[in-house]
Every structure is written in structure tokens, then in C-alpha cells.
Chain A
Amino acid sequence: MNVLIYLVPMALGLGLAGLFAFLWALKSGQYSDVDGAAVRMLSDDDLEK
């Protein structure tokens, strides 16, 4: 079962990476307008420019 010695920390590391990604997204305001994000992707006004 020696494989666990590095498998468990690896799993934890991946989990932590996810956590920090979420905290970063939260801090950069990506959750301040969730309804807007859902409809903005349908807008194609960037094509005109």
C-alpha cells in the first residue's frame, strides 16, 4: 500500500488547485453577474468589429 504515500497527497493537491481556482474566480468578480453570463454568450456583437 506504499503507493498511497504519494497518491493521497496528489489527490489533495488536485483538490486544492480546484479550490484556489474557485477562490480566484470569486475574487475576480466572475460570480457577481451569473444571470448576465448566461445570456451574454448568445450575443454576437463582437463579430461586427
Chain B
Amino acid sequence: MPEVLDLSLYAKPAGNGTLGMELAVDGIACGACIARIEGAVKRLPGVTEARLNYTNRRLHVSWTDGAAEPAQILQALEDSGYHGHPFVPQRAEQAEAAEARRLTRCLAVAGFAAMNIMLLSVSVWSGNVTDITPETRDFFHWASALIALPAAAYAGRPFFTSAWRAIKSRALNMDVPISLGVILALGMSVVETANHAEHAYFDSAIMLLFFLLIGRTLDHAMRRKTRAIAGNLAALKAETAHRFAGDELVSVPVAALKAGDRLLVKPGERVPADGIVLGGNSQIDESLITGETARRKVTSGTTIYAGSMNYSGALTLKVTAAGGAALIDEIEKLLDKAASAKSRAMRLADRASRIYAPLVHATAALTFVGWLAAGATVHDALVTAIAVLIITCPCALALAIPAVQVVASGALFRANVILNTGDAIERLAEVDTVIFDKTGTLTLPEPRATGVASLDPELLQMAARLALSSRHPLAVALAREAQTRAPFDGAVEEPGQGVRALVDRVDARLGSAEFCGVVQPAAGEIGLSTIYFARGARVIAIAISQTLRPDAVNVVKALAHFGLDVRILSGDRDEAVAPIASALGIAYWQGGLKPADKIALIESLKANGRRVLMVGDGLNDAPALAAAHVSLSPISAADVTQAQADAVFLGERLKPVLDAVAISRRARGLMTENLWLAVIYNAIAVPIAIAGAVTPLIAALAMSGSSLLVTLNALRARRA
């Protein structure tokens, strides 16, 4: 009887007796996929709506309660060639979506106001040099005020609230001078307008908000996009567990597991949750947890951890801790310690604003005092001082870093690196030491057949095709070598032994030495498993082992070329680490390390002033990732580990690590360059403002010119 897949966890009531579900969908290649996916799902009886969001690759389905099953929807997707998995949107993601809408609304209001005020301002500027009457000018100024004041009150809120928060905690950020500049410019302009003055700065204040909101909205949109993709990857990675409901098995998503559930873990599957083995004997591969590649024997009573790969036999498991709560105590304690000890690197923008804000305010104050001392009236001195604040309002400065960040995270995204934290780019650029974990990071997460070139290709192909019929991890590894994906008819799997089939009427077997009738098995090497294939009298032995990522050697060489100190810290035994280190040409390596040892080594490097990039995937690496200056992990990593990493990289290759460092270094260079451009702009504009020669026209030109300059410069971060 086929096992039932129970996905009721994800179905949410949507009113009118319908249920709704969100699915992340993989394999969408082009626009035609939209119609294919929606069509396939809508054809199911009971489905009332299916809408695919092509931007974030998510499908929303609703159906009449009882008329359709979530599992049917998944099956319909699978039948039309797409893989989908339901997911629950993270609360952080929903909050960000709301924030994005708020920013876009602010941007729209600021854009509307900036355009209309500029229309009026240009008329005033041209009128001032021709024949505008004071009455018309006043009318235009009041019209500008009417637009500017409500618009600023609405569109300026993101800046005002952030500035207020900073002031309340006795700190300064870039939003403090921005808010002060905008409020003073508007206030002064109203007073000046009431006094029938020639100049008002409504346009400057609103344009400033408009430019800054563009930067902020883009920054936000980019972060949201990478987060949505990371969310999809996590949902698609989610596995199902076989839970006993009485004597029957029901497939449930891992997220639905609770402590006390009884599960069946079949050979070739990952253990879905921490638990105690109730029955069965098997060997498990715990490399994702400890980095150890040798397999451990487990029997009833043994505690096993989520993420282990079950090799030989089926196990019955009692869940002790489910899902994300599952953590080995030792790791948890270390994680807490590492996270609290982590000195938060101060972000470049914060450092710049800490110098910049007091400097600007002091300059404005000095201007006021200076003009008073030189005999100007209080009114004139105040107007000049405020003009200094307006012209120095850090438009270019506040755009200098986010603009680069947006472009660089786009470049990283194309290089298969997905950022988890906003300031990872800055920290990646500062790195001088790279520490790799071995298992699953330098090597591929799944084992591969090695030395296949020396085997008889005909027998190898038969063995690989036969391997397609088995779920044993070694067979799965061998099956990658198969050139045709068609399994042999009538292949039978003997649990714990191997698979056999009749190939051209001759008995062929794939499996253990005894199963294939091999009398003298080859001596086992560490980290190497041998699988035998016999057909008639011909026998071959195929070695399966952890293999390096295909480009590992070149990437390590290139990292060293960058002047980085590359090291390996592994939880695996020395004998397993040594050959990898020598193949990669890495002189400094250590094996047999406990998570605490890894942290200690990273801490000692940090004490010597090193900035460490840690790349790791195992649960045992999680504390080390948290302790390092910046961290990366492959997408195959344990969930806890991935949550600690500053960025995640996709695919089989190691090149994203190299790209991440290269793109970040370039971005950091551009950020500094942009900051200098902003400084140069101020060095030219401030003396003019102090001299009292700034008109609204000059302010508008200077501001938009400098913003455009830093944005164009930031675009250069596109190239790696």
C-alpha cells in the first residue's frame, strides 16, 4: 500500500470553506512555465485558484476544503516536470514585505512632491533673473510649501524615526544630520516665504528625501529578493519523515514532527530528527554533524542526530527533539559563547557618520558665530548656517555605501552567493585568513566513485545502471556514473546485501563482497568504501569515497594568490585530512578537532589581529562560523550551521568562495572611493556655503550631481 503524504500542516483556512497553501517551485525556466504550472494545478478537481509569482518563484493555491489534497497538488507539479514544496513564510519576511511597501509609498509621495516643487522652483529661478513679480514668487513659494510640508512629514518618517531612535540611545547615525537638515531647511523656507524672501529651499529638502529613498528602496528590494530565494531553497530542501500512525506509515513534513513520535528511517535517507533508536541495526554517516567520514554502527538504545545519513538497515526511531530545537548540548553552549564574544564589526557607514555628523554640525555652528562676529544680522547669519547644513546634508554620503551594496549583492547573487547579513560584504573584504572545514566543504557533500577510469567501461556502465535500482548511499554515488538513466527490468534489492538483476540473461549482482561471491575483498582504506559488481565470472571492485569539489585545487591556489592564508581545520581523523591537504597544497592543517578546539584556534588567530573567514557545513562547524569574522557555508550544510553563516553558496563548485572575496574586495574599494567622492564634493561646496553664496539653484545642482556621480561609480561593482 502506498504511503500517504500528509501535508495538512501547511494548509491554511482562507475563508469561504477554502484552504490555501504557498509552495516554493523549482525548475521554472521561462515564461511558458507559468501557464504550464497553473494549468496543471487548476485542472485538479476542487482547486479554485492557482497563481504563480514568477518573480519569487512561489505558487499560491487555494482549494475547496475536502475536495483536494495538498499531496495531489505536489504530485500534479511533479507530473508536469517541476518540483515544489509547501512552506510557511517566515515572520521576518512578512515584516520586510510590509516595510518594503511602506518605503515604496514614501518614495512615490516624495517623487510626486519633488517633481511638482521642481516645476515651481525652476519657474522662480528663471523669474528671478527676468521679470517675476514678488506676488507671483510668493504664490509659488506658498504652493511649494503646501506640497513640501505634508510630503516631508509622510516620506521623511523612515529617517525621522531612525534618527530619533539613535538620539534616544545617545548615538549618531547618518539619519541625524539628514533629519536635521530637512527639518531646518523646511522651517527656514517657511519663515523666509512669510518674509517675502527671494530664496526658499523646499526643493532641496524634498529632493534630498527622494534621492535617499531611492537608495533605501533599492537596498531593501535587493535584500528581500535574496531572502526570498534563500527561503525557497530552504523549503525545497525540506525532507519528509515516515511516521507511524498506529501500525501504518504516514509521510509527514519534518516540520510537523513532535517529541515522542515514532519514525521509520529507511536506508539511504537522512535522519529527520534527533532521537533514540528503538529497533534495527545499521551504520550511519555522521559527517554532517561531526565531520567524521568513517561510519558508526548503531543499534537499539543509541542516540542519533538529525542530518546523519542512514546506510545499511531500516531503523525505528523515537524522536526526542524535533526540527530546529534539535541541538547537541555542547554545540548549543559553544554557540552562545561564540555569539556573545563576537565583537560586532562597526560598519563603514556608521564609522563615516560618526566622524561626519559632528563635523557638519560644528561647521554650521561656526558659520553662524563667524557671520555674527563679522557683523551680519542674526537673520542673515542663521540663513547662511542653515544653507551650510543643507548643502552638507549627506546625500552623496548616504548613497555612497548602499548603492555599492545593491550592485555588489546583485553580482554575488549571479556568482551563486546568497547573503544572509547586510554587512557581510564589508567583512568579507577585510579577510586575511581562510579556514576550510574538510568534509562537505572542500569535498563534495555526497561521496563519488573514484578511479573509474581504470575500470572496464562496459562493466562499469552495467554496474551504474544496476545501481539506479537501489537507494543505498553507495549505490546512489555509483549511479551518477550511469550514462543512461534506465534501470534494468526486474532488479531486486536484497536489504543489507545488494541488488541483482538478469542482464542479457546472465545474473549480475552489485553489493557487498559476499553478495557478489568475492572471496578475498580488497583491504579497506580509511574513508574509502568498496562496492563490488559481478556478472558471470567477471568481477570489478569500485571504490567510493569523498572527493574534492571539482575546482577546489584552483580555488585554493587563487585564494593564496590573493595573499590569503588558507588552512584546514577538520573534525575528521588526521589520516583522512592529510591526503586532502597535500592534494590542495595547504601546508597548515589540523584534524581530529572538537568544536571547542576550532573556536580556540580561531580565537587565537583573532587575538593576533587576523580576520578569519570560516567556510564550513557541519553542525560541528556552527560555533566556529559564529566565532569567525565572517562565514560562508554551502547550501548542503546542516540547518543550524546555515543559520550562523553570513552567506550561503550554491552548487558543486568552490568558486563562489573565491568570487565572494573578489567581489567584496572590489565593492569595499568602491565604497571607500565613493566616500572620498562625497568628501571632495563637500570640500568644494562647503566653502561656497560658508561664504553665503549658495542659492537654491546651486544646492539643487550640487546635490543631484554628487548623487548621480556616486551611483554611477557604484555600478562598476557589477564586474567581479
Q: Which residues of A contact B (CB under 8 A)?
A: 1, 4, 8, 11-12, 15-16, 18-19, 22-23, 26, 31-36, 38-40, 42-43, 45
Contacts and interface: CB of A to CB of B under 8 A. Distances in A.
A8 B142 CA distance: 12
A15 B54 contact: no
Contacts of B428: none
A4 B39 CA distance: 56
Contact of B119 (A11, A18, A33): A11
Interface in B110-137: 112, 115-116, 119-120, 133, 136
A15 B115 CA distance: 9
Nearest to A16: B112
Contact of B31 (A11, A19, A23, A42): A42
Interface string B12-50: 000000000000000000111011000100000000000
A36 to B, nearest CB: 3
A16 B119 CA distance: 14
B104 interface: yes
B55 interface: yes
A25 B102 CA distance: 14
A37 to B, nearest CB: 8
B73 interface: no
B112 A15 contact: yes
21 contacts: A1-B136, A4-B136, A11-B119, A15-B112, A15-B115, A15-B116, A19-B108, A22-B108, A26-B104, A26-B108, A33-B54, A35-B54, A35-B55, A36-B54, A39-B30, A39-B31, A40-B31, A40-B34, A43-B35, A45-B35, A45-B39
Contact of A12 (B53, B101, B143): B143
A29 to B, nearest CB: 10
B1 to A, nearest CB: 38
Given A36-B54, A43-B31, 5 more contacts: A4-B139, A15-B116, A16-B112, A23-B108, A39-B30
A39 B34 contact: yes
A19 B109 contact: yes
A31 B54 contact: no
Interface in B132-155: 133, 136, 139-140, 143, 147
Interface centre among B104, B108, B139, B147 (most CB of A within 10 A): B108
Contacts of A22: 108
A31 B52 contact: no
A26 B116 contact: no
A36 B133 contact: no
Contacts of B342: none
Nearest to A18: B112
A32 B136 contact: no
A8 B366 CA distance: 40
A28 B266 CA distance: 47
B53 A33 contact: yes
Contact of A1 (B32, B109, B133): B133
Contact of B53 (A1, A32, A42): A32
Nearest to A41: B31
Q: Classify chain B's interface size.
A: 20 to 34
Interface of B: 30-32, 34-35, 39, 52-56, 101, 104-105, 108-109, 112, 115-116, 119-120, 133, 136, 139-140, 143, 147
Contacts of A8: 120, 139-140, 143
Contact of B55 (A4, A34, A42, A43): A34
A36 B116 contact: no
Nearest to B101: A26
A19 B108 CA distance: 7
A11 B101 CA distance: 27
Nearest to A9: B143
B52 A36 contact: yes
Contacts of B109: 19
A40 B31 CA distance: 7
A23 to B, nearest CB: 6
Contacts of A40: 31, 34, 54
Contacts of B115: 15
Contacts of A4: 136, 139
Contacts of A23: 105, 108
Contacts of A15: 112, 115-116
B108 A11 contact: no
A12 B147 contact: yes
B133 A43 contact: no
Contacts of B30: 39
A36 B32 CA distance: 10
B30 to A, nearest CB: 7
A4 B135 CA distance: 12
A49 B52 CA distance: 20
B119 to A, nearest CB: 7
A11 B120 CA distance: 11
B136 A31 contact: no
Nearest to B116: A15
Contacts of B55: 32-36
Contacts of B112: 15-16, 18-19
A7 to B, nearest CB: 11
**4 nearest A-B residue pairs (beta carbon):** A39-B31, A36-B54, A19-B112, A35-B55
Contacts of B147: 12
Contacts of A26: 101, 104-105, 108
Contacts of A45: 35, 39
A34 B56 CA distance: 10
